[in-house]
Amino acid sequence: MLPEIDGLDVCRELRRTFKVPIIMITARGEEIDRVVGLELGADDYVCKPFSIRELLARIKAVLRRSQLNPESPLAVLTGPSGLRLDPEQREATVGTTHIDLTRLEFDLLYTLLLNINRVMTREKLLEEVWGFEYPGEDRAVDSAIKRLRAALRAADPAADRIEAVRGLGYKMNGDKE
């Protein structure tokens, strides 16, 4: 509904010319409109009315995805006490011991390892791991951390380096160099 050119044409031209993330913000919310917008190259499609919080979360998600190069494999992460995370295979090990993790626990451990030695607030963990649409309380993070710690301790008690930071959240402590 732009004055001189259709938003779909803008999207099509941007996609043809540049490799940039595109989020369409529009009043046209019918399914066919959303499908056409996404098929023409939009990375996300937001219908009015929308909340600023949701829009910011969608922008962050699109930027996160746009930084990934699909042709290069995700790096294997190593953590304290021989902890190893392979995101391509979705496998976690300590030495030769396999750690059985749910999807959520794996993603939580992955996020903590990506941010090793940094405090991650509950809100940030909810955003990164659960996604912005998570309807629950931020105490869901505490429950997931408890299960993750139990899984790590079962493999090797030294592998659990998750520290609670009172009033803020959690951090994964790395090996001291």
Q: Are residues 37 and 81 in the same domain?
A: no
Calpha distance 54→177 (Å, rounded): 40
Calpha distance 79→139 (Å, rounded): 25
Containing structural domain, residue 119? 77-172
Q: Are residues 57 and 133 in the same domain?
A: no
pLDDT digits (tens, 9 = 90+) for 61-93: 888 777 654 444 567 888 888 899 998 888 999
| Local structure of residue 167 (DSSP, 8 states) | T
Calpha distance 37→49 (Å, rounded): 17
Calpha distance 106→89 (Å, rounded): 11
Contact at 8 Å (CB) between 129 and 142? no
Asked whether residue 33 is domain-assigned, the answer is yes
pLDDT digits (tens, 9 = 90+) for 15-46: 777 778 889 998 888 889 888 888 888 888 99
Question: Which band of pLDDT confidence, cut at 50, 70 and 90, is reported for residue 177?
Answer: very low
Q: Are residues 32 and 93 in the same domain?
A: no
Contact at 8 Å (CB) between 80 and 161? yes
Q: Are residues 162 and 137 in the same domain?
A: yes
- Tell me how many domains the chain contains: 2
Higher-confidence residue: 177 or 166?
166
Global pTM reads 0.59
pLDDT over 70 percentage in the chain: 89
Query: What's the mean per-residue pLDDT of the chain?
Result: 85
Q: What CATH number has the domain bearing residue 61?
A: 3.40.50.2300
Asked whether residue 72 is domain-assigned, the answer is no
| Local structure of residue 127 (DSSP, 8 states) | I
Q: Are residues 87 and 129 in the same domain?
A: yes
Q: What CATH number has the domain bearing residue 97?
A: 1.10.10.10
Q: Are residues 40 and 124 in the same domain?
A: no
Calpha distance 100→141 (Å, rounded): 19
